[in-house]
Homo-oligomer: A and B are copies of this chain.
Amino acid sequence: MKPFILASGSVIRAEMLRNAGVPLETIVARVDEGSIKSALLSEGAPARDIADALAEMKARRVASKNPEALVLGADQVLVCEGKLFDKPDTIDAARTQLRTLRGKTHELLSATVIVEDGAPVWRHIGRAQLMMRPFSDAFLENYLQTHAEDLFTTVGAYKLEANGSQLFTRVQGDYFSVLGLPLLEILGFLRTRGICQE
Contacts and interface: CB of A to CB of B under 8 A. Distances in A.
A1 interface: no
Interface in A180-198: 183-184, 187-188, 196-198
The size bracket of the interface on A is 20 to 34
A161 B162 CA distance: 13
A162 B133 CA distance: 29
Nearest to A142: B197
A196 B19 contact: no
A175 B166 contact: no
Contacts of A21: 146, 163, 166
Contacts of A196: 166
Q: Which 10 pairs, one residue from A and one from B, show the smallest C-beta to C-beta distance?
A: A175-B175, A20-B165, A139-B197, A136-B198, A19-B162, A20-B166, A165-B183, A168-B184, A169-B184, A166-B187
Interface of A: 16, 19-21, 133, 135-136, 138-139, 142, 146, 161-163, 165-166, 168-171, 174-176, 183-184, 187-188, 196-198
